[in-house]
Structure 1
Amino acid sequence: MLQIQDVVVSFDVLKEKFLCDLSACHGACCIEGDAGAPLELDEIEKIEEVLPLIWEELSPEAQAIIDKQGVAYVDQEGDLVTSIVNGKDCVFTCHDDRGCCYCAIEKACREGKTDFLKPVSCHLYPIRVKDFGEFKGVNYHRWDVCKAAMLLGQKENLPVYKFLKEPLIRKFGADWYAELETSVEELKKQNYLNV
């Protein structure tokens, strides 16, 4: 474990390799699993502001779920997560003509309709952040639907923390990320980390 300010980072985040391969997985992380994506409380308001802009992109099933329970719910573990359809698909998941999943919120952002990209937990995946009060834990989440991303990451020799530079800066700030990079270089020099 590596501690940067009040954030404890698992060595897996520094050592493991990862690079999303959408052509192989087709965005399975948006439609697999048994709960929605973790949300921060302030993200609900941002999602509700974006909702009218993306409503027509959403499936009728997703629209019905949102009408019934809203954009989020509390899952079995007590976490606030995005609402889901059929016990697995995120309500904001849409599909392109190649059968790949995409996020309707992210699409609206990329089209300049909003400045909210998507929930930070989605942006950070395969990293999961857990709040422990006095500190936060940053862990690498292994999931078989991401096997192609692991293989591509190994091929390109891209560690998780480098692949996720932008969302890590979004979550913790540029100074934090710079400190992370400096710490990783120091660990390499001391032969504590071979990446």
Structure 2
Amino acid sequence: MVQIDDIVVSLDVFTQKFICNLDACKGECCIEGDAGAPVEDNELAKLEEVLPIVWDDLSPKAQAVINKQGVCYRDSDGDLVTSIVDGKDCVFTCYDEKGYCYCAIEKAYREGKVDFYKPISCHLYPIRVADYGTFKALNFHKWSVCHAAWLLGEKENVAVYQFLKEPLTRKFGEVWYKELESVAQELKEQGMI
């Protein structure tokens, strides 16, 4: 573990290799799981704001879930998470003609229709942020559905923190990310990674 400001970073973030491989997984991380994606309290209003714009991209089942319980709910741990369809799909999933799963919010963002990319927990995956009040911890979440991403990351020699430069900068700022890169360089020089 290393600490940058009030954020403790697991060494796995530096040592594990990762590049999303949508051709292999087809977006399975948005489908599988026992709860929706973690949502920060300040993101709820953004999800509700983009909802009318992405509504037509959502499945009828997702629309029905949203009409019944909203875009989010509290899971068994009391955490705010996106609502899910049939116990698995995030309500914001949509599919292309090849059957690939995409985030409807990210799709709208890339098309210039909204200014919200998607929940930061989704953007940061496979990093999970744990908030302990006085500090946050960044941990690498290893999930079997991402096996192809580990293989591609190994092949291309891209560490998790490098693959996630954009969302890490979005969440913690450019100065913090530059410090993370400096720490990675120091760890390399010391033979720790």
Give the letter for the 2:129 counterpart. Answer: V
Instruction: Report 1:1-195 matches (<5 A).
Output: 1-191=1-191, 193-194=192-193
Shift of 1:78: 1.6
Give the letter for the 1:145 counterpart. Answer: V
Shift of 1:190: 1.7
Which consecutive unaligned segments of at least 5 residues does structure 2 have? none
Shift of 1:94: 0.5
SS state of the match for residue 8, structure 2?
strand
Residues 105-150 of structure 1 show CA distances to partners (whole Å, capped at 9, x for unaligned) of 0111111111101000000000000100000010000000000000
SS state of the match for residue 102, structure 2?
strand
Shift of 1:184: 1.2
Residues 40-79 of structure 1 show CA distances to partners (whole Å, capped at 9, x for unaligned) of 1111100111000011111111001000110000111221
Counterpart-to-counterpart distance in 2, 1:188 and 1:30: 34
Give the letter for the 1:85 counterpart. Answer: V
Counterpart-to-counterpart distance in 2, 1:99 and 1:187: 41
Which consecutive unaligned segments of at least 5 residues does structure 1 have? none
Counterpart-to-counterpart distance in 1, 2:144 and 2:187: 29
RMSD: 0.6
SS state of the match for residue 3, structure 2?
strand
TM-score, length of structure 2 as denominator length: 0.99
Query: Identical aligned pairs, as a percentage?
Result: 67
Give the letter for the 1:157 counterpart. Answer: N
Counterpart-to-counterpart distance in 2, 1:105 and 1:168: 19
Q: Which runs of 4+ in 1 moved over 3 A?
A: none
SS state of the match for residue 94, structure 2?
strand
Give the letter for the 2:53 counterpart. Answer: L
SS state of the match for residue 138, structure 2?
strand
Counterpart-to-counterpart distance in 2, 1:33 and 1:50: 24
